[in-house]
Amino acid sequence: MNLILLGAPGSGKGTQALRLSKEFNIPHISTGDIFREAVLTGTDLGKKAKVFMDKGKLVPDEIVVGIVKERLEKLDAKDGFLLDGFPRTILQAFALKDELAKLDKKLKAVIDIEVGEQELIGRMTGRRVCVDCKKVYHLIFEPPENQDYCDACSGRLIQREDDKIDTVRNRLVIYTEQTKPLIDYYKKEGVLHSINGEQDVENVFKDIITAIKGEYE
């Protein structure tokens, strides 16, 4: 099963992707995670990506597309994948379409998680991430026992540089200009499901499952 999670930054894509990838036993492919890992390990890719990420800008299409193509051709994506944070531009969506045709794969569903702007700002600015195991918390909605340390591994919790308020605003403008048009694109392709993302995590998950199962019937 091949799925895409669409939605603004902070809408809950990563949170739902963890659950969906377990539920359907498919790899969770997050371009944001791939770039953050590259930044951390100091690779050439990381150095290039960091310049854009720190400003809340999109990494150029030619870089992102190459990485995703390579990732989709790995063995573990043979029977399905869950894309989180890709595509983010029309050009990326076209490139994905070509790649899927080449691999003889079809998209099952594109899930758009809908969340209003004020809520998105609150979710991003309150997000905290473990530096070691990368577990994601929210200071209000999913608080750790101790706000500085991870419940799971005792690693230090940090705020992502791009979750600071000024960068958050840039990311939302870029989302509206460059990524939102994909909703119409996938609607026309007949694969889009819009989900109310302003519910608790469990109910968002249930709605996504219902939408995907509907696809099967």
- Catalytic positions: 13, 88, 127, 160, 171
**117 binding ligand ADP? (CB under 6 A):** no
CB of 162 to ligand AMP, least distance (A): 6
Stretch that binds ligand ADP, among 93-101, 133-141, 145-153, 171-179 (CB under 6 A): 133-141
20, 77, 204, 212: which one contacts ligand ADP (CB under 6 A)?
Answer: 204
Stretch that binds ligand AMP, among 17-25, 49-57, 93-101, 187-195 (CB under 6 A): 49-57
Element (H, E) at 14: helix 13-24
Q: Measured between alpha carbons, how far is 120 from 30 in angstroms, rounded to an integer?
A: 19
Q: Measured between alpha carbons, how far is 155 from 216 in angstroms, rounded to an integer?
A: 41
Contact 45, 62 (CB under 8 A): no
**86 binding ligand AMP? (CB under 6 A):** yes
- Compute the half-sphere exposure of residue 177: CA atoms within 13 Å on the CB side of its CA: 8
Q: 65 in helix, strand or coil?
A: helix
The CA–CA distances, whole Å, from 168 to 164, 189, 196 equal 6, 30, 21
CB of 48 to ligand AMP, least distance (A): 11
CB of 62 to ligand ADP, least distance (A): 23
> What is the binding site for ligand ADP (CB under 6 A)?
7, 9-15, 123, 126-127, 136-138, 141-142, 200-201, 204
